[in-house]
Structure 1
Amino acid sequence: MEKRLFIASICLLLLSVYSNAQDTSQKGKPKNSGVVFNLNEDGSHYVKLSGLGQIWLRNTQMNPGTTINGYETDSYSDISIRRLRFQIFGQITDKVFFYSQFGQNNFNFHSPKYDGAFFHDALIEYAVDKEKLSFGAGLTGWNGLTRYASPSTGSIMSLDAPLYQQATNGVNDQFLRKLSVYAKGQLGKLDYRIALTQPMTVSGAPEAPTGTDFSFSNEPPKKQVQGYFKYMLMGKESNLTPYEAGSYLGKKSVFNIGGGFIYQQDAMWALDNNAEIVNKDMVLFGLDIFYDKPLTDETALTAYAAYTNYDFGNGYVRNVGVNNAATGSGGATVGGYGGAFPMVGTGNTMYAQAGYLFGENIISEGGKLQPFAALQYSDYDYLDDSMVMYELGANYLIQGGHNSKLSFVYQSRPTYKNEAGENVLDTRKGMAVLQYQVSF
């Protein structure tokens, strides 16, 4: 019954989207997003408002032992808000820029009612040289490590950005944003960002470590140092905000090679064989390549690949279930409950995604189709078998841009069990998501 309701909901949404495409097809291609208020005659000083909404219809095959409100559940369909964001930013003087973002993530049927919206970003920036060097401070996404440690959520190509690159998301930061002092700029083809960060109090950390596997320490945190550097071999990308585009949809040619790091002294702790507390530095490295190029006037190719090496200490792994539809587990689970899987951990990860944009006037006038695939392969020391997650899907760009986008994605993830003291692959589970995105 639930699956039939889920399919019916998809059909209704498709009909609504198709009608919207027909109604607006005569209005031309989408213009630049946002509402701009000029503060001077030439528009160099301005304040801009923009917004984003992403709605999910989803069916999830639950991990073994999953419960919802105490009831064991094998499969469940739900409706949720993945993201709701509003941005206000602007160039106040020739030197001063501010950026703020307010909204909510992952509002589903068991989220706290009348609660949840918060500031994602709140920063002030001063340009010493507008292109080469700016300094800023506040709650910000100017992070190190890799491209999608700070993704532009409105232009993501796959179901979501490769969230494993947001390695401390929700642990000692606020949905990847961190309290930082940063410097950023572009020196010719080299784009750089470096930051000194004050880690937040670790969510859910015990007063002392409880075992020999490392976890985040609850001691007063030492500062993080982080940076990301990319060399732009083709066209330049904007660094007005920290968030990196997922796909340009054939509007520009970009080819970047990047690398970065995050380091925090004594970020982790565990017990040694004598039950004494030992500390460990958190050391994260990443390398990546991004390629986005129009092939014809109407088609384009987008591709991305990354390698990361994470050292949180022996035995560290973090199970992540994005916008999880479940509330708990009826028993011990190695890979988490609901739609979770071991996303982040000590070890090596290789990730790749690719998509192809087909020409205009698919389904409706101005419509474009972008099928894609993504794969995460991780070798974590906590697991005795490798972790492989893959996604297959497509974006339907109703008017040719990200401002009205329908996405369907199937994600396959592994589950694990403990046999004779080893964490080994058990089975695979799937999740199907239909997302509708509107932005302005």
Structure 2
Amino acid sequence: MKKLNCIIVVLSLCFFSGFSQSETESGYGKGYRINFNDDGTKYMRFISWGQFWAQYNDDAPDGTEKLALSVRRARILSWIKFSDRFSMVAHFGLNSLNGNNTGPVGKDASAQLFFHDFWGEYKVANDFYVGAGLHYWNGISRLNNQSTLNMLTLDNNRSSWSTIGLSDQFARHIGVYVKGKLGKVQYRFALNEANTNTLDNDGTPRDVGTATVYRGREVLGSDEAGKVIQGYVDVNLLDQESNALPYKVGTYMGSKKVFNIGAGFFSHPSGVVLPNGEGDDVLLFAADAFYDAPLGDNGSAITAYATYQNNDYGEDFNLGPYATGNMIYGHVGYVLPGDKTKTRFQPYVAYSTRSIDAIDDNANQFKLGANIFFTGHHSKLSFDYTNDKVGNADATGVFTVQAMIFL
């Protein structure tokens, strides 16, 4: 615990010394922008962010470190507007760089830079767009479209990123999508390629044994598993959210008054192989609600989210955060009263419970944490305690400190 306390002190001193409390989030604008014409309708915009973790796990197995340091995310995103009709997004970076996956000279490390997103988009008509490429216009729920810049909790609810490594590359598929608005209704639908390489499949034919295996496109040589379809629709009952980019905001800290109700799905025909060797369909669907609003004029605000998700990955599928069964998840955060131009505090709590058909039992997770905002989401510290319990196994607890910079 002494090591952990030292890390917390160092991170806090770095942030307090590096950022004045009087700086406001608006001082950063919308990243670095290069205009290509006088009226600013053609431009390239850049943003970059980094998240740095110190984690303490008192339940770590004997012989392993209880304190772990890592770069959780290091990202750069560019958004190019060629005209009112054409745009392109390129987003690259790395995730979870730590002492176990760095290499002597970098090139042999397993955690390397790769494209998270690379897509082009065309405006067909007012509030209707078509795009193609490696994209994040996902289905299922708001959390499956979550931005990593402005999450309420330390990190996203892992089970809500419901297809990472199964049919996609880190929550992104290669495919085509449509998006748009109809009054207060926003929608996104996509037809995508399914991966050949999946988390529990190396792409080579093998006996699936007694487990249901996600095989992506490679189901007994069948072309039926080649494509996935997904979509999400939400009704913006109060302030309207932007859908220029796919990344859903986690907390507005009361800067908007938002109440959205949504529903979505993910369908992958013949996406898994059953123990008897036959292909089976994958079908996920969810309904959710999101609320974010100021509470009076004292600077306080509330953020609340809840979702129900039904997961059918095939009979008795179970792979860590992915399992056939049902999930209920929710979180609530509260920004304490205070001057909006100074340091702000936001405690939060989150809870999820998942039924896992394969073990005929539940997995439960509880989170308790807080964000300290020095300049909004541009510079903040987050503290999080997460307690996990799966079935009859002992519960495990992990304490994490995160320092984040977003420019």
Q: Is the 8 A contact 1:192 1:230 kept in 2?
A: yes
Q: Is the 8 A contact 1:392 1:410 kept in 2?
A: yes
3-state SS, counterpart of residue 14 of structure 1: helix
Query: In the TM superposition, what are the counterparts of 1:222-301 in structure 2 within 5 Å?
Result: 222-272=226-276, 277-297=277-297, 298-301=299-302
1:57-100 Cα deviation digits (max 9, x unpaired): 1101346xx4xxxxx44661011000000001121111001111
Shift of 1:171: 2.3
Q: Is the 8 A contact 1:95 1:130 kept in 2?
A: no
1:97-132 Cα deviation digits (max 9, x unpaired): 11110100010110142141111000000001242x
Q: Is the 8 A contact 1:191 1:229 kept in 2?
A: yes
3-state SS, counterpart of residue 373 of structure 1: strand
Indicate how the Cα distance of structure 1 residues 311 and 434 shifts in structure 2: closer, same or farther if over 3 A, else same: same
* Counterpart pick for 2:82 among 86, 92, 107: 92
* Counterpart pick for 1:104 among 94, 107, 111: 94
Shift of 1:27: 4.4
TM-score (normalizing by structure 1):
0.85
Shift of 1:209: 4.0
Shift of 1:25: 3.4
3-state SS, counterpart of residue 9 of structure 2: helix
* Counterpart pick for 1:38 among 35, 49, 63: 35
The match for 1:176 is 171
User: In structure 2, how many angstroms separate the alpha carbons of the residues matched to 1:426 and 1:4?
Assistant: 29
The match for 1:9 is 7
User: In structure 2, how many angstroms separate the alpha carbons of the residues matched to 1:10 and 1:28?
Assistant: 24
Indicate how the Cα distance of structure 1 residues 28 and 379 shifts in structure 2: closer, same or farther if over 3 A, else same: closer
* Counterpart pick for 1:144 among 122, 139, 145: 139
Q: Is the 8 A contact 2:52 2:71 kept in 1?
A: yes
Following TM superposition, where does structure 1 have runs of at least 4 consecutive aligned residues deviating by more than 6 angstroms? Answer: none
The count of residues paired between Structure 1 and Structure 2 equals 390
User: In structure 1, how many angstroms separate the alpha carbons of the residues matched to 2:238 and 2:67?
Assistant: 44
Shift of 1:143: 0.8
Q: Is the 8 A contact 2:263 2:286 kept in 1?
A: yes
* Counterpart pick for 2:383 among 374, 385, 408: 408
The match for 1:420 is none
3-state SS, counterpart of residue 5 of structure 1: helix
Q: Is the 8 A contact 1:30 1:403 kept in 2?
A: no
Indicate how the Cα distance of structure 1 residues 291 and 19 shifts in structure 2: closer, same or farther if over 3 A, else same: same
* Counterpart pick for 1:19 among 17, 20, 25: 17
* Counterpart pick for 2:55 among 58, 67, 70: 58
User: In structure 1, how many angstroms separate the alpha carbons of the residues matched to 2:24 and 2:236?
Assistant: 32
**1:197 partner amino acid:** N
User: In structure 1, how many angstroms separate the alpha carbons of the residues matched to 2:33 and 2:156?
Assistant: 28
Shift of 1:28: 4.5
Asked if 1:309 is matched to 2:284, the reply is: no
* Counterpart pick for 2:122 among 111, 117, 126: 126
3-state SS, counterpart of residue 253 of structure 2: coil
The match for 1:366 is 342
Q: Is the 8 A contact 2:347 2:371 kept in 1?
A: yes
The match for 1:339 is none
Query: In the TM superposition, what are the counterparts of 1:413-428 in structure 2 within 5 Å?
Result: 413-415=388-390, 424-428=391-395
1:374-426 Cα deviation digits (max 9, x unpaired): 11110110123211101000000012x100010000000015xxxxxxxx412
* Counterpart pick for 1:185 among 180, 183, 196: 180
The match for 1:322 is none
**2:193 partner amino acid:** Q
Q: Is the 8 A contact 2:54 2:69 kept in 1?
A: yes
**2:85 partner amino acid:** K
Query: In the TM superposition, what are the counterparts of 1:346-357 in structure 2 within 5 Å?
Result: 346-357=324-335
3-state SS, counterpart of residue 71 of structure 2: strand
Q: Is the 8 A contact 2:254 2:292 kept in 1?
A: yes
**1:56 partner amino acid:** W
User: In structure 1, how many angstroms separate the alpha carbons of the residues matched to 2:59 and 2:164?
Assistant: 23
Asked if 1:430 is matched to 2:406, the reply is: no
3-state SS, counterpart of residue 41 of structure 1: coil
User: In structure 1, how many angstroms separate the alpha carbons of the residues matched to 2:400 and 2:240?
Assistant: 33
Indicate how the Cα distance of structure 1 residues 33 and 143 shifts in structure 2: closer, same or farther if over 3 A, else same: same
Shift of 1:296: 2.3
Shift of 1:200: 1.3
The match for 1:79 is 69
Shift of 1:26: 4.6
3-state SS, counterpart of residue 11 of structure 1: helix
Shift of 1:228: 0.3
**1:226 partner amino acid:** Q
**2:38 partner amino acid:** E
Q: Is the 8 A contact 1:52 1:154 kept in 2?
A: yes
